[in-house]
Structure 1
Amino acid sequence: MLPGVSSPLGILASLLVLGALALFILFQLKRRQRAAWEAFAKANGLTCAEKRLEVQGRYRGRPLLLATGKRGAGGKKRHTVTVLRLDLEGALPADLLLEYERPEDKVPGATTPREEHLGDADLDAAFLVENLAPEARPVLLAPDVRQRLLGLRGHRRVSIKGGWLQVEQRGVPASTDALEALLRAPHELVRAVIEAAPAQPSSHAMAESPHSDAPTDEELPGSEHA
């Protein structure tokens, strides 16, 4: 063992070196994330915010908002998430709420009150439904829509609210491939919903920002800086 390594000054020096290394690794990760989000935005004709990880615009013809935010009360439980919002183009009523229930959010032994059901055992076991209009049921039960809804259960949160699909996952993608992978399944679900719905007037979002009629508080992306 080298002289002084086990001394208080040696231990402090070692901790400082480890701390500096951790900060350097974090800095490099932030740079990779920023570069990936900017490259993704440029490749798809989207706008990337200058001082935070936030991309918005029209992705393959549909309004999109992609941003990061903080979740959790604080300390070790507080973590960063990536939130994706895609416009459903009026294919489902704006007051419909369809929300995925994470198993870890359920209280053991507790039952969740349900007043509305879709009539599909798998969907009803996974999603809470409110304000289910008669015209929305056949859209949600369409085979392609049903399959893609169930396929999103691996995400932290999934909801349809205010005419938007919102999907949330832990962490921040640090490559364009990871960003494309995040969008792929939700974008296909939106396509399936629009195809299954009766013809609708032009989307309200054509003249509005992806932030309009946005959910509040914990449902919104935060202002996580790059």
Structure 2
Amino acid sequence: MLPGVSSPLGILASLLVLGALVLFTLFQLKRRQRAAWEAFAKANGLICAEKRLEVQGRYRGQPLLLATGKRGVGGKKRHTVTVLRLDLEGALPADLLLEHERPEDKIPGAATPREEVLGDAELDAAFQVENLAPEARPVLLDPDVRKRLLGLRGHRRVSIKGGWLQVEQRGVPASAGALESLIRAPHELARTVTAMAPALPPSHALDAALHADAPQDEELPGSEHA
């Protein structure tokens, strides 16, 4: 035991110092995150919210929303995630659902019915699909789209729903480079999809995408304050 901390007062003082160091470290991390998100938004002509980590606008021509939120139910299972949404601008039907979730992040006992398939063994093993319209199948099976879809499997969750591509990862990027890295592959997929099928009606506004169809046991993206 360290000298001077064997007494109750010494132990209490040590705990207070440790607590102060933890709080200071968290404060510094929050400052780095805020600075990184603001710098990223400014460099790309996007809007960064004042009171939370949320960026939106057109990123290299693609409507984008980037925000944070909470996932999990209480205790150690509750954690912060970063959610990226990219508007596919009507390139795929709005009622199409394509979803991937890593096995370790799935809710125990949750059903995963497989009613429809794409007809590609690797894609079907990675993604659940519903409401697969005939015009959507050739887009999803295009070699470039297929390659980019499979490249997103390392993320916690990936989905195409309501005409939006959504990608989710644990934690919050604390540098502009990390934000660019998070966005790069999903943005390439979104651009590839929209370039292939630009003729369908455009999808929803950014605000609608932020708040639509959020699970009741999860806070909405953007709820994590800076």
TM-score, length-scaled by structure 2 = 0.92
**For 2:83 and 2:2, how far apart are their aligned partners in 1?**
49
State the Cα distance separating 1:106 from its structure 2 match: 5.4
Aligned residue for 1:211, secondary structure, equals: helix
- Deviation (angstroms), 1:112: 3.5
Q: Is the 8 A contact 2:156 2:168 kept in 1?
A: yes
Determine what percentage of the aligned residue pairs are the same residue.
83
Query: Which residue of the partner structure matches residue 67 of structure 1?
Result: 67
Paired residues for 1:59-208 under 5 Å:
59-105=59-105, 112-197=112-197, 199-200=198-199, 203-205=202-204, 208=205
**Cα distance change on mapping 1:118 and 1:53 into 2, 3 Å:** same
Q: CA deviation at 1:125?
A: 0.5
Q: Tell me, yes or no, if the aligned pair for 2:70 and 2:219 is still in contact at 8 Å.
A: no
User: Once superposed, which parts of structure 1, at least 4 consecutive aligned residues long, lie more than 6 Å away?
Assistant: 107-111
Between the aligned partners of 1:59 and 1:109, the Cα distance in structure 2 is 38
| Unaligned 5+ runs, structure 1 | none
Distance 1:2 1:142, change over 3 A: closer
Cα 1:151/1:40, change in 2 over 3 Å: same
The whole-number CA distance in structure 2 between the counterparts of 1:54 and 1:42 is 13
Evaluate the alpha carbon distance shift between residue 136 and residue 15 of structure 1 in structure 2; reply closer, same or farther with a 3 A threshold: same
Within 1, Cα distance between the matches of 2:109 and 2:45? 48
CA contact (8 A) 2:70 2:220 kept: no
**Native 8 Å contact 2:92 2:200 kept in 1:** no
Asked if 1 retains the 8 angstrom alpha-carbon contact of 2:105 and 2:156, the reply is no
Gaps of 5+ in 2: none
TM-score between the two structures when normalised by the length of structure 1: 0.92
RMSD over aligned Cα atoms: 2.0
Residue 3 of structure 1 and its aligned partner are, at CA, apart by 4.9
Structure 2 match to 1:212: 208
**How far 1:203 moved relative to its partner?**
2.9
Aligned amino acid, residue 5 of structure 1: V
